[in-house]
Structure 1
């Protein structure tokens, strides 16, 4: 298939030949949901911890006598039914949230997201993206001239210091190399801008 390329003014310049299996396949919503959910789950550190009734600091004295008060019997205030008591089934810091996703499924999920971006016109290709100096206003002006006003993810084959430092103060801009693309960022950002060389690198990576 053919992907349209734009110039620095945001106008259609030419086209580039791309893989149909990567940019022209049918969108699989269930697969994309599974891949995105697994990616976010695998990023969890699992460091939350709660105390059980043995770990909380409470007196072991019986609050009141067993009978004769008219209240429910109680043994100690560390019981899970008491305010400030221990949890019945506490979360442990070694809890594992990871989900397994096969490599073939992961690549198919990324290809499905790329195809969705192309079909909705949210994927743009540029010949190259070069910034002369590490200045935020230069990159902001270049993106504005191309017609990017919303959140944009830039995939470039050569992430030099000027381009990287120019994007750090732009909260709606994310610049990555093809090896660092992830499904969450591709879904989260409204538009994706790729260099022509990055397209070829992604095709080799997801072939």
Structure 2
């Protein structure tokens, strides 16, 4: 598989031969959906809690007598059918949202996303991506000159501090190391820009 190689002006500068197993495989939509869903579910924390009828604050006094009022019988105001009552099936702080995905499935899902990006021309490779000074305006102008007007994810082999600090105030730009790529970010961003060394690192990790 040959990936598009561009220079800092966004002009074509040849191609880079990459692994067909990672960048030229058939797109598996169901697998990608499963991997993305599991990744998002595993990031959830079970810190929400609701009160049941035992823990909600209420009076134990019977609201009205059992018979003769014409209304339905009721025992106490903590009933789930009452406003302000406890929940019938409350959420627990110990709730576990994690989903298991095998390592082979995860790697195949990430490779499927990379192949989709490459086949649609949304994955480009640059020799290096570094900034001389940590200036947001300079990075914005640089990406604009390279033809990236929408969301772009920059993947580097070694995170440059100036590059990272320059991207923090750009809401549509994400800078990550190759070892920290995730399926959710790659699906979210319209374009992915990788350095040559980052491509090699990804091939070593997922190959």
Q: Report the 3-state secondary structure (helix = DSSP H, G, I; strand = E; otherwise coil) of the residue aligned with 2:113.
A: helix
Q: Report the 3-state secondary structure (helix = DSSP H, G, I; strand = E; otherwise coil) of the residue aligned with 1:10.
A: coil
In 2, the alpha carbon distance for the partners of 1:176 and 1:169 equals 15
- Shifted more, 26-35 versus 124-133: the winner is 124-133
Match of 2:106 in 1: 106
How do 1:28-67 residues align onto structure 2 when only pairs under 5 Å count?
28-67=28-67
In 2, the alpha carbon distance for the partners of 1:126 and 1:104 equals 29
Aligned residues: 207
Deviations 1:59-101 (A, max 9, x none): 0000000000000000000001100000111111000000000
Does 2:135 match 1:125? no
Does 2:160 match 1:167? no
In 2, the alpha carbon distance for the partners of 1:189 and 1:3 equals 18
In 2, the alpha carbon distance for the partners of 1:130 and 1:47 equals 40
How do 1:50-199 residues align onto structure 2 when only pairs under 5 Å count?
50-199=50-199
In 1, the alpha carbon distance for the partners of 2:27 and 2:80 equals 48
In 1, the alpha carbon distance for the partners of 2:160 and 2:3 equals 25
The root-mean-square deviation of aligned C-alpha atoms, in Å, is 0.6
Cα shift at 1:4:
1.6
Deviations 1:145-185 (A, max 9, x none): 10000000000112121111101110100000011000000
In 2, the alpha carbon distance for the partners of 1:158 and 1:127 equals 13
Match of 1:22 in 2: 22
Cα shift at 1:199:
0.3
In 2, the alpha carbon distance for the partners of 1:86 and 1:198 equals 53
In 2, the alpha carbon distance for the partners of 1:124 and 1:4 equals 5
Cα shift at 1:9:
1.3
TM-score relative to the length of structure 2 = 0.99
TM-score relative to the length of structure 1 = 0.99
Q: Report the 3-state secondary structure (helix = DSSP H, G, I; strand = E; otherwise coil) of the residue aligned with 1:184.
A: helix
